[in-house]
Amino acid sequence: MLKVARHAVDQAQAKKKFDYYRNEVTDLIGEIPNGLAALSGVFDTSHQLAAAASVVAPDDPVLRGAIKINAQAAAAMFTLSDQKVRGKPMSYSGPIGDSTVEIAGRAPNSSLGPTNYQVGLFSSLISRDHDANHRLCVIPPPSLRQGGVQADEYQYAWNAMLGRISRGENLDGAVDAITAASAPDQVTIASRNDVDETLWLARAAAAARAGNAAAVNDGLAKAIEAFRKIWETDPKRWRGWLSLGATAIACWAVDQGVAITVESEYMPRSLLRR
């Protein structure tokens, strides 16, 4: 069995975030009708809550609930942003937590790029929220490029592969496209560890499609190791407490019938179960 230990985390800080954001998320959902700043807040705080829960309460249903809310908030944000970019009437109706949110005539002011889009897709795969996943997958790629955030080309190739994963399509050539776009002379923004994490996640996903359990687990372990390298020098950064990417690909692999033998606090096993 492969094991990748999480770097040292400030437990007190994680507990403080867990206690605060589990109430803050609910309050912000109630504020969405009054302003879209609350919608962006739900997206951010649900991510923070999930990261904190993975440290202090990895078996608590709050963890899974926070990830589902994150997926739903992402679906709302990117749907509205896409409508704005394309000059379409802006409207959204859908669930966020225990509420059904109705939004008309407004889009979030925050910049939305491929990284936040990946967070939403990862969360939808982990929570098996097919509605949020579908809403995200129908966002046209050009809309993401016009979201106001600069990104390396490999991020868009990875988004395209995640879309194919979500839609159940074949993954022929997907890893090659990411590899070509992540050559050193093609990457000007992301770190090499960021690139390596994505490449290993993509390889693990392709292996899951092929039913190669050994390659899936090897890829996940190497992706998590790259994730650790990114965040271990900054242990107070909450984004480094939970690997949504590795957890999402592991969940998808489980749904393809692949046994996950990698163990890591970055990837709570409670989330791998359907």
Q: Is the pLDDT of residue 241 over 80?
A: yes
Asked if pLDDT for residue 183 goes beyond 90, the answer is yes
Greatest mean pLDDT among 86-100, 136-150, 194-208: 194-208
- Is a pLDDT exceeding 80 seen at residue 236? no
Query: For a pLDDT cut of 90, what percent of the chain falls above it?
Result: 84
pTM metric for this prediction:
0.96
Return the HEC string of the chain: CCECCCCCCCHHHHHHHHHHHHHHHHHHHHHHHHCCHHHHHHHHHHHHHHHHHHHHCCCCHHHHHHHHHHHHHHHHHHHHHHHHHCCCCCEEEEEECCEEEEEECCCCCCCCCHHHHHHHHHHHHHHCCHHHHHHHHCCCHHHHHCCCCCCCHHHHHHHHHHHHHHHCCCCCCHHHHHHHHCCHHHCCCCCHHHHHHHHHHHHHHHHHHHCCHHHHHHHHHHHHHHHHHHHCCCCCCHHHCCCHHHHHHHHHHHHCCCCCCCECCCCCHHHCCC
Confidence band (pLDDT; 50, 70, 90) for 141? confident
- Whether residue 216 has pLDDT greater than 80: yes
